[in-house]
Amino acid sequence: MSEKMKKSNDEWKSMLSGEEFYVTRLKGTERAFTGKYHDCKDEGIYKCVCCGVELFSSETKYDSGSGWPSFYAPAKETNIQSEVDSSNNMIRTEVKCSNCEAHLGHVFTDGPKPTGLRYCINSASLNLEINI
């Protein structure tokens, strides 16, 4: 990915649902246990809802009990980026798509082996491509 995908808010609004826009472009968060993938057991690749980049694999998905889809590793390290998020009187690490800069969720250091990481991701930022 040499050049990042850039679109105006009007362009994003025309291609995303209201919730997808709120989560990915306005850095919102869906309510816990409400997202379409929080309890999904289907095998496949989770892609960015905005640009289609591969983000996470069902092979690294696990039930963290948090109410959001959780993964212990990204599909490809280069497809995500992180930055400090100090909103809501907290210091967290925000996770974004490296191609279109969509907000995906946050990463925490309380995950399982082998990485010890918990990528806590909003379902609204993902599309699952099911393995057949």
pLDDT band at 98 (very low <50, low <70, confident <90, very high): very high
pLDDT (tens digit per residue) in 5-38: 889 999 999 999 999 999 999 999 999 999 999 9
1 inside domain: no
98 inside domain: yes
Query: Does 120 participate in catalysis according to the annotation?
Result: yes
Those residues whose C-beta lies under 8 Å from the C-beta of residue 120, and which sit 6 or more positions away, are: 64, 66, 68, 69, 70, 105, 106, 107, 108
Q: What is the pTM of this model?
A: 0.92
63 inside domain: yes
Single-letter amino acid, residue 114: P
Best CA proximity match to 79, nearest among 42, 111, 114, 50: 50
2 inside domain: no
CATH number for the domain that contains residue 93: 2.170.150.20
pLDDT (tens digit per residue) in 112-123: 999 999 999 999
pLDDT band at 90 (very low <50, low <70, confident <90, very high): confident
> Can you tell me the distance from the alpha carbon of 24 to that of 4, in angstroms, rounded to the nearest whole number?
15
* Catalytic position from the list 50, 97, 100, 120: 120
Note down the domain range covering 41.
Answer: 9-130
End-to-end CA distance of the chain: 27
Based on the structure, what is the number of domains in the chain?
1
93 inside domain: yes
Single-letter amino acid, residue 4: K
4 inside domain: no
35 inside domain: yes
